[in-house]
Structure 1
Amino acid sequence: MKSQRNSLLLSDGETTALVDAVADIAKAYWLSLPERRTYPATSGAETEALLTRSWSEEGIGPAVFESFGPIADRSRPAGDRFFGYVFGSGEPVSAVSELLVAALNQNVTSWRSSPAATTIERTVISWLADAIGCPGLSGSLCGGGSTANLMALAIAREAKCSANENGSGGGIVYCSKEVHFSIPKAMALLGLGRKNLRLIETDDALRMQPDLLHRAITDDRAAGLMPIAVIATTGTVVSGAIDPVEEIAAIAREQDLWLHVDGAYGGLAALAKPEYFAGLSLADSVSIDAHKWLYQPVDCGCLLYRDRNAARRAFSQQADYVRVLNEDPIESFVFFDESIELTRRFRALKLWMSLQYHGRAAFRAAIEQDLANAQLLARKIEEHPELELFAPVSLSAVCFGHRDKDNEALLRRLIARGRVYLSNASFGGRFTLRACFVNHRATPQSVDLIVSEVIDAANEIND
């Protein structure tokens, strides 16, 4: 127990005991993952009664960590049976490294603020760009795909219809109707307006149709409007569809439009399947999420871009208190000139540690296993007389349902059983189940469990 309740300082012994205790808690939690329910059996009232409390005048010391058990029991575990969302499974080397991130407590604004952190992040950026077949791109880490997409559109806006000084005078952006909802949100936040987002129809594989894209651009130009950007998606959030980037890039180049690729879900699968992502290197900017298909704990998103000057036009803002005094090309580097953030946590350390600990081949193998698991599940669904696929399986998202049952009721029952966790989607007005494999712990046996659990849950509900 702390001897001085009015001090934030810990003795050497207290620090040692604290770190040892937390390490034991984390280890016990990871070892318990195979036995944990895939979704907590708790209610809102119960959770609030247990965890809502006042901030006391006197601290309780190490006893606070006894709360972790009840917290973990009321949290969604990242075990081998979770397939609900496009969300990574929390690789342990990276998770352990987060303690080191917090211990260092670096503000990664610039080289002078943290030489090591800045160097490591720039190194990791080069690794990620190379991994997706886009060597030489610059960029920075950020909270996730939504922030990366927002920054990409901000750069595109300044490149094609500068608005930083006088406000936005318009600008039309084109994307698939399957685009992530962060894109219309970014259009609103940037003053471009949701009405200036053109949602292009998709083909039978749920990919943007280039001929319809070209027609939409031509029609808008004829109407006196100002097209500025096209967004291709490599891994739509619902089905994992991959837009034909090469064809879209050719149109963007012909029309002098910024090409952004939202690869937050699928982009890093290029590490294992580069042939799926032809044309990715033609993009002006690419968003990717290491907390998806590199299995990192959140948050660990990334925006890559080709033109650093374009990024600076979007984000550079001067003030005396951040003025760089060094002219050395390395030591004068600043992230805030090319990013939306000033204060930035040392996101790169956990990724740097994790990627080096395991090596490229291990991550490639994990992605390949996820892709194989998705195809295995698709085959088992097609072979099962009670189940049906609702969408092509392009990456690792499998949208399916029961032929004769209410699939919404089925999903509720499946989650209540607590043995596997799936999410939902909608196709043609039909409610579907959705299993997404972005999980380094998943195995072919996990696929068998999905099928058996869906059938058992179906047998437990009324028609």
Structure 2
Amino acid sequence: MAPLDLSPADFRALSRKISDFTADYLERLPNLPAFPLNVSGEAVNALFSAEVPIAPMGERAFDPLADVFALSRPNSPRFFGYVFGSGLPIAALGDFAASVLNQNVTAWRSGPAAVTIERTVVGWLAEAIGCSGFSGSLTGGGSQANLMALCMAREAKAPANENGAQGGVIYCSDEAHMSMPKAAMMLGLGQKNVRRIPVNDRFQMDISHLRDAIMRDLREGNRPIAVVASAGTVATGSIDPLPEIADICSEHNLWMHVDGAYGALAAMTVPEKFVGLNRADSLSLDPHKWLYQPAGCGCLLYRDPAAAQRAFSHTEDYARSLSTDPIESFAFFESSMELSRPFRALKIWLSLRYFGLQAFQQRIAEDLRLARILADSVSAEPQLELLAPVELSAVCFRYVRKNADLDHLNLEILQRIIQRGKVCISNATIRGQFALRACVVNHRSTEEDVKAVVSEVLHAANEVSG
């Protein structure tokens, strides 16, 4: 046995130890605080910033796991802080098996089962949201998927791979995710070439402003290349008018990308909200949000595989396939940015096989229903004000009091809520106003859990008011 291996007996024993520990954690989860209590950076550093061990520790290496779990944010049914999935235990088992297999999912020849399963899962996801026939790959998250999509857009409309970036303008709404300007920076287009289009009263991209911005750039000799529509903005969950944006992209020969990292998977449940999604050239979605998968697990879908190959294909001799079989010669590295790629698909594949697609459709519908219940509870409370329409599952609101600095007051309320640990919510800026924000993307949440948000806000408001 190799010195760094475990014997089968030791592996079984340590696996049982981890399994028992994590099962106990899951059993306690409903009673854990929604955010770790009394946590400080200094205390966490003191526990985990020790020197690397030189001598072996054996089983004692696992001793700090209790502290790791205690000082981590629990996947509580009352966690509504971010658009982040609640972590299916069945998917965690998939990750465990994937790590033992340790496949490089870069080409069929380096991981036949893993590559085939990922291609299958991508097809399942595309079909589930009404985009049958799209190709794609799994990514580390929505930001990576958005970067890859805009790289495809740049190469399709302003080719740069041979001679460098020629410039190009990208359009997205004021509510778009921060990964858009970051992608422009990384692609050599620059933040100044990202046009932030104003939104309407439903926080959707204003189509007339989009048309005006494109025409202005054309008159000034700039090169429009892509419009990024949001299918679930990060703050309010708004969905941009996809058919109208698709029409404009068709009219001006622009690439249409849909950032659906938050919302696109809800198309499985409420497809009427996502009409036009299948007209996109590319779209991102995050199974680690609304398929409740452990992070990180995003997905990029696209209409034309050749466009992905134009953007990402670069094969050296050592990577050349010796097979001419269309299945066996397939390589993800020819159509994505990664070479070494983990087996992300196994957890999704097992989750969908174990529970079936319908269970996820029903759970997303329940999240949408719970968000509406929360919004109604906010609207029914005279001291609370709903600040944005609830399109999906993000609820933005604030506490109101006469003659108060409402931004400062709500910041204090949020800080007190986090200190109390009964629920966890976050904040957003809505038309310049500080907002409390709760987002229901949690397979464990119930009506009782979402109703606790309002009572906690009122309780915290009373505490900070003295």
Q: CA deviation at 1:462?
A: 2.4
Q: CA deviation at 1:274?
A: 0.4
- Out of 333, 337, 356, the residue aligned to residue 336 of structure 1 is 333
Q: Write the deviation string for residues 312-350 of structure 1: whole angstroms up to 9, x where unpaired.
A: 010001211110110101111000010000000000001
Q: Write the deviation string for residues 222-252 of structure 1: whole angstroms up to 9, x where unpaired.
A: 1111111111000000000000000000000
Q: CA deviation at 1:119?
A: 0.4
Is 1:59 matched with 2:56? Answer: yes
CA distance in 2, matches of 1:388, 1:81: 21
Residue equivalent to 1:17: 13
The one-letter amino acid of 1:415's match is: I
- Out of 132, 137, 140, the residue aligned to residue 140 of structure 1 is 137
Following TM superposition, where does structure 1 have runs of at least 4 consecutive aligned residues deviating by more than 3 angstroms? none
| Worse overlay, 218-227 or 297-306 | 218-227
CA distance in 1, matches of 2:77, 2:357: 22
Q: CA deviation at 1:428?
A: 2.6
Is 1:32 matched with 2:32? Answer: no
TM-score by length of 1: 0.98
Q: Write the deviation string for residues 1-22 of structure 1: whole angstroms up to 9, x where unpaired.
A: xxx9x92122222111011111
Q: CA deviation at 1:299?
A: 0.9
TM-score by length of 2: 0.97
CA distance in 1, matches of 2:260, 2:417: 30
CA distance in 1, matches of 2:228, 2:215: 17
- What stretches of structure 2 of length at least 5 have no aligned partner? none
Residue equivalent to 2:200: 203
Q: CA deviation at 1:220?
A: 0.8
- Out of 434, 438, 454, the residue aligned to residue 437 of structure 2 is 434
- Out of 1, 4, 9, the residue aligned to residue 8 of structure 1 is 4
The one-letter amino acid of 2:460's match is: A
CA distance in 1, matches of 2:90, 2:337: 28
Residue equivalent to 2:156: 159
CA distance in 2, matches of 1:54, 1:429: 46
CA distance in 2, matches of 1:148, 1:222: 31
Listed as ranges, the matches of 1:416-431 within 5 Å are: 416-431=419-434
Q: Write the deviation string for residues 254-308 of structure 1: whole angstroms up to 9, x where unpaired.
A: 1100000000000000011000000000000000000000000001100000111
Q: CA deviation at 1:219?
A: 1.3
Secondary structure of 1:7's aligned partner? coil
CA distance in 2, matches of 1:225, 1:457: 51
CA distance in 2, matches of 1:228, 1:210: 17
The one-letter amino acid of 1:152's match is: A
The one-letter amino acid of 1:445's match is: E
| Worse overlay, 107-116 or 51-60 | 51-60
Q: CA deviation at 1:398?
A: 0.3
Q: Write the deviation string for residues 350-385 of structure 1: whole angstroms up to 9, x where unpaired.
A: 100001100011101110011001110000100001
CA distance in 1, matches of 2:347, 2:118: 10
| Worse overlay, 216-225 or 340-349 | 216-225
Listed as ranges, the matches of 1:183-332 within 5 Å are: 183-332=180-329
Residue equivalent to 1:351: 348
Secondary structure of 2:83's aligned partner? coil
Residue equivalent to 1:384: 381
CA distance in 1, matches of 2:271, 2:376: 23
The one-letter amino acid of 1:38's match is: A
Residue equivalent to 2:92: 95
Residue equivalent to 1:364: 361
CA distance in 2, matches of 1:12, 1:200: 59
CA distance in 1, matches of 2:423, 2:23: 23
Is 1:171 matched with 2:174? Answer: no
Q: CA RMSD in A?
A: 1.1
Q: Write the deviation string for residues 31-76 of structure 1: whole angstroms up to 9, x where unpaired.
A: 1111111111211111111222111221211122221111111010
Listed as ranges, the matches of 1:32-51 within 5 Å are: 32-41=28-37, 42-51=39-48
Secondary structure of 1:421's aligned partner? coil
Q: Write the deviation string for residues 177-220 of structure 1: whole angstroms up to 9, x where unpaired.
A: 11100000000000011111111110000000112111111111
Secondary structure of 2:425's aligned partner? strand
Residue equivalent to 2:456: 453
Q: Write the deviation string for residues 79-122 of structure 1: whole angstroms up to 9, x where unpaired.
A: 10100000000011001111100000000010001110010000
Residue equivalent to 2:414: 411
CA distance in 2, matches of 1:66, 1:272: 44
CA distance in 1, matches of 2:442, 2:7: 40
CA distance in 2, matches of 1:12, 1:223: 69
CA distance in 2, matches of 1:95, 1:69: 18
CA distance in 2, matches of 1:101, 1:427: 41
**Across the two proteins, how many residue pairs are aligned to each other?**
459
Residue equivalent to 1:120: 117
The one-letter amino acid of 1:446's match is: D
Residue equivalent to 1:85: 82
Secondary structure of 1:336's aligned partner? helix
CA distance in 2, matches of 1:244, 1:28: 46
CA distance in 2, matches of 1:266, 1:121: 21
Q: CA deviation at 1:429?
A: 2.3
Secondary structure of 2:333's aligned partner? coil
Is 1:397 matched with 2:394? Answer: yes
Is the contact made by 2:33 and 2:76 (CA closer than 8 Å) also made in structure 1? no
Q: Write the deviation string for residues 150-169 of structure 1: whole angstroms up to 9, x where unpaired.
A: 00000000000100111111
The one-letter amino acid of 1:414's match is: I
The one-letter amino acid of 1:459's match is: N
Q: CA deviation at 1:130?
A: 0.5
State the identity as a percent: 53
